[in-house]
Structure 1
Amino acid sequence: MGIMQTFKRIFSTNTETSEKHYDEKLQTHYYKSTKDKVLKEVEAMFNQRSGFTVSSVSEEHGEIIVRIDKGKKALIVGTVIMVKPFRTAVDFSVSTDTFLFTDFGYSSKVVQSLYKDLNKRLTFVGTGLGEKLSDF
């Protein structure tokens, strides 16, 4: 990780996962399932967590919006995309509601916790597989 990534990570109030994220823990996660099943499982995961409130679910767009009301306040947007049969990608964006210039890594910890829980619920295939999908 370079100096710029370290500063961005430290002085940030949001974390967003992506295909080519410099931190492997924050790369897009892929699961062996359909979009609808993954979206239902993500929604169930949020409903079972204390202090999390599902605000909106768009099955058509594969998006779920969740508020964290307990402890540090935050907004989570989860995106579920089926990239090929039984290969579904999940990304999260977490924005912390704070008056400071940093959330001290809270949003990153939330994302990592969500992926850890989801990996237990679904068949995890890997991270950052976007370019490698043609190999399957």
Structure 2
Amino acid sequence: MGMKETLKKIFSTSAETGEKHPEEKYRTRYYKIMKDKAMQEIQTVINNKSGYDVTSVSEDHGEIIVNLKKGKKAFVVITVIMVRPYRTAVDVSVSTETVFFSDFGFSRKVIEDIYNELDQKMTFVGTGLSDELNPM
């Protein structure tokens, strides 16, 4: 990770996962599950977490919107995309409400917690698999 990524990580009030994220643990996660079932499992995980409130679910767009109300306040968007049967991608984006220049890693911790619980509920296949799924 370069200097730019390190500074962005330190002075940030948000974090998100992505297919080609420089850090392995923040890359898009793939699960062996159908999209509808994944959406249900994610909602179950979120509903069981204290202080997490599912405010919107869009089955068509594959998005689950969550507000964190306990501790620091944050806005979470979980995106679920089925790339092929029994191969579903999950990305998470977290924005923290704070008056400071940084959330001191809170948004990254939320992502890690969500992914850890999803790994226990669904069959984890791998991270950042877009090249494997779409060979050129």
Q: Same fold (TM over 0.5)?
A: yes
C-alpha distance in structure 1 between counterparts of 2:134 and 2:17, whole Å: 22
What amino acid is the match of 1:2?
A: G
CA shift digits 1:29-50 (9 cap, x unpaired)? 0000000000110111100000
Structure 1 letter corresponding to 2:89: A
Structure 1 residue 101 displacement after superposition: 1.0
| Partner Cα distance (1:96, 1:24) in 2 | 22
Residue in structure 2 matched with residue 114 of structure 1 by the alignment = 114
1:73 aligns with 2:73: yes
> What amino acid sits opposite 1:119 in the alignment?
D
Query: TM-score of the superposition, structure 1-length normalised?
Result: 0.97
* Offset at residue 134 of structure 1 (A): 3.9
Please name the residue that 2:102 is paired with: 102
RMSD between aligned residues: 0.8
SS at match of 1:83: strand
Take 1:86 and 1:32, find their aligned partners in 2: how far apart are those partners?
Answer: 5
Cα distance between partner residues in 2 of 1:82 and 1:17? 16
2:70 and 2:134 mapped to 1: Cα distance? 42
Distance in structure 1 (CA, Å) of the matches to 2:42 and 2:125: 16
TM-score normalised over the length of structure 2:
0.97
For structure 2, list consecutive stretches of 5 or more residues without a partner in the other structure: none
Name the amino acid aligned to 1:11.
F
Q: How many correspondences in the alignment?
A: 135
For the residue of structure 1 that corresponds to 2:21, the secondary structure is coil
> Which runs of 5 or more residues in structure 1 are unaligned?
none
In the alignment, the residues of structure 1 paired with residue 96 and residue 29 of structure 2 have an alpha-carbon distance, to the nearest angstrom, of 22
- 1:12 corresponding residue in structure 2: 12
Q: Could you give the per-residue CA deviations for residues 14-67 of structure 1, whole angstroms, max 9, x where no partner exists?
A: 001000000110000000000000011011110000000000000111000000
Aligned equivalents of 2:74, 2:23: Cα separation in 1: 21
